[in-house]
Chain A
Amino acid sequence: MSLINDFIKFNLNETTRKSIAEYLWIGGAGMDLRSKARTLPEPVTDPAKLPLWNFDGSSTDQAPGDDSEVILRPQAIFRDPFRGGSNILVMCDTYTPAGDPIPTNKRFSADKIFNHPDVAAEEPWFGIEQEYTLLQKDTKWPLGWPVGGFPGPQGPYYCGVGADKSFGRDIVDAHYKACLYAGINISGINGEVMPAQWEFQVGPATGISAGDQLWVARYILERITEIAGVVLSFDPKPIPGDWNGAGAHTNYSTKPMRNDGGIDVIRKAIEKLGLRHEQHIAAYGEGNDRRLTGRHETADINSFSWGVANRGASIRVGRDTEKAGKGYFEDRRPASNMDPYVVTSMIAETTILWKP
């Protein structure tokens, strides 16, 4: 076992210029991350210099068996925290051999929106709060919960510490450092209200980078839970009843919102979002209706509301923003299993491009 350990820790830089690139993409379910590795003749830091690749789309529900090649286009590079050295993780998106984005490729249209001159001029920033639940393997019951029963009711667990209040901290802490190492703009973590539920935040990230960073952070998290023998769940309401759900609150601002007088720009943006509530909700994650009940710090899925420091509203504006007259706002509707490419580009589109 120690021999395997030695090989994993092996520093390739001492013997070769070659490096390993792990290509990542999103599979046919829209939420399943896939990856495979290839050798590069030398270290690469620019995605444009990486070769296109392909994979068997018929094995991920993304292509028929008789025409199964799906093309991988590298879009963003991060350092590999598992292999170290000059090895990299590469976030890709997926195309037909003819060069068209396949239906599950949500990055393509998001990128078009973020490249639109009106959107680019506004410098949209995103801070995404990714919540997730850790489950025991095999039983799929939350980590630390007694099998066949329930822990004491919610109260002591939010940001809690202690063996009876905090389950799985090692995973969260390992993930924090791994992401910092990788070059992901991870800004914080905390234990959540439901025991065995955690949250990390990525941001502020500009435009399309928010989606890239969040997907790679999700990948790193899934690799770490794999090592730990614990199952990762992005289900928005893993346990029905008096237990909080899991969301992906998306904080958003544009240059005008961050400057003086921004609070009015924010109000106008929120009004526009209110007019497209149903379209947004439809894109904010499967199963969100089980989570957005109006209880447990959520707003009801059917109604749109906003408020300052109000965690029971669809959109929350922070007290700092209200006081300073400028800042950002938080869309609390997206579920933990949302696609950040979809959500970030939709918020930008509705608030900047769309005319009611």
Chain B
Amino acid sequence: MAQILAPSTQWQMRVPKSSTFGSPIATKMWSSLLLKQNMKGAAKSAGKFRVLALHSENSTVNRTEKLLNMDITPYTDKIIAEYIWIGGTGIDMRSKSRTISKPVEHPSELPKWNYDGSSTGQAPGEDSEVILYPQAIFKDPFRGGNNILVICDAYTPAGEPIPTNKRHKAAEIFSNKKVVDEVPWFGIEQEYTLLQQNVKWPLGWPVGGYPGPQGPYYCGAGADKSFGRDISDAHYKACLYAGINISGTNGEVMPGQWEYQVGPSVGIEAGDHIWCSRYILERITEQAGVVLSLDPKPIEGDWNGAGCHTNYSTKSMREEGGFEVIKKAILNLSLRHKEHISAYGEGNERRLTGKHETASIDTFSWGVANRGCSIRVGRDTEKNGKGYLEDRRPASNMDPYVVTGLLAETTILYEPTLEAEALAAQKVALKV
């Protein structure tokens, strides 16, 4: 499948060669993070910035940083490949690294590997090997140089995808000729919440209490309105460096909650890019000493949940007359509401209440510019008669392989009966 190769020349030219050891993007980001965190008054109590093991008492200068940022390319052709996969809960990411004898361009050049599935709930102890198939390569923003991150999926030794491998089925859907011809684009808006370590209370919130009600925080700036911007900004650049198609970021309605968007990506890439961006985000929060939560409703009550709105279009939707195709797609989606909802993330019922800019989980609805609907169509799309739709149902902990595959399957491959169509058209007030 298509690979996203980082524009390597571009970035290598911008890395200054002033020090004896080259420094990837990571170093500079960390020193600025350190400074900013010290200056943030309100956030001081919340999650002290701590790059583990960078400060020591018995040595006067710190040399771990030098080693971490060392550019090994002058000394060896070898590169380090961090193989990344999804663990047994379907949302936990795992990774380990290995040395590869020289730089690679394509995942097919990388060897398959294996890991101990009995330690991730994916295999029994007496037959524990699970095989990793490299599927997508990204540049490693933490190690720099020619080192890479590799998104993999998991198989039994016999070559069957294991039950938690959702990529395999999605890849099949995206290889179907009808789907390929429609060139499905996805733009995914990943929301997430940052929590203070140990107490697991949102970053910036007073421990034992609550901040002022929602209102000032959406896209807000200021020490009393924006908590954790450095993580969001560091993540943005790290993803761009890695070659991930990150298109934007913003502070969310609930304080301590953020969003970034990845897209437009074609087909299976959407899933690969989201998973890699989630991995990079968790590595960054690990360094910052802050806990990442993808829970769809982290705080009960009058606080927004976290979703993963998925914007979607096909070639037909983007061309003249596309609006009719969009309406037909919405019709199909209305007929499979339950199947989609059950695959759109654990715990979504706590989030899709009908309040806080969500639609109720039990009813399917759509509307133009309506954020209280299951599917929202933008005013631009309505005006131009072509464009895309936004599925607002997926939760922040959804699996993008599942969601993107389902959207493509339901809108391109699924054919409802004429009676079902007619009934649905009435129900959702759609003339198709």
Contacts and interface: CB of A to CB of B under 8 A. Distances in A.
Chains A and B are bound partners? yes
Interface of A: 1, 4-5, 8-9, 11, 79, 81-82, 84, 137, 143-144, 146, 155-156, 158-171, 173-178, 180-181, 186-191, 193, 224, 226-230, 297, 307, 309-312, 318-320, 323
Interface centre among A79, A187, A224, A319, by most chain B C-beta atoms within 10 angstroms, is A319
A187 B98 contact: yes
A222 to B, nearest CB: 13
B165 interface: no
Interface in B50-82: 51-64, 67-68, 70, 72, 75-76, 78, 80
A4 B60 contact: yes
Contacts of A187: 98-99
Interface of B: 20, 51-64, 67-68, 70, 72, 75-76, 78, 80, 87, 92-99, 114-116, 118-121, 125-129, 142-143, 157, 197-198, 279, 282-283, 285-292
B97 A189 contact: yes
Interface centre among B115, B126, B198, by most chain A C-beta atoms within 10 angstroms, is B126
Given A227-B59, A310-B125, A312-B126, A159 B282 contact: no
Contacts of B98: 187-188
Given A170-B64, A228-B64, A311-B118, A319 B99 contact: no
B75 A181 contact: yes
Given A161-B282, A176-B97, A309-B128, A226 B72 contact: no
A159 B68 CA distance: 19
Contact of A180 (B62, B99, B118, B290): B99
A191 B96 contact: yes
Contacts, number: 164
Contact of B62 (A81, A160, A173, A227): A227
Contacts of B120: 158-159
Interface centre among A137, A158, A181, by most chain B C-beta atoms within 10 angstroms, is A158
A297 B118 contact: yes
Given A162-B292, A310-B125, 11 more contacts: A137-B57, A162-B282, A162-B291, A170-B51, A173-B142, A180-B75, A181-B75, A181-B76, A188-B97, A309-B157, A320-B157
Given A170-B68, A309-B128, A158 B63 contact: no
B56 A177 contact: no
Nearest to A163: B286
A5 B285 contact: no
B271 to A, nearest CB: 18
A146 to B, nearest CB: 7
Contacts of A81: 67, 70
Nearest to B198: A146
A229 B96 contact: no
A121 B358 CA distance: 71
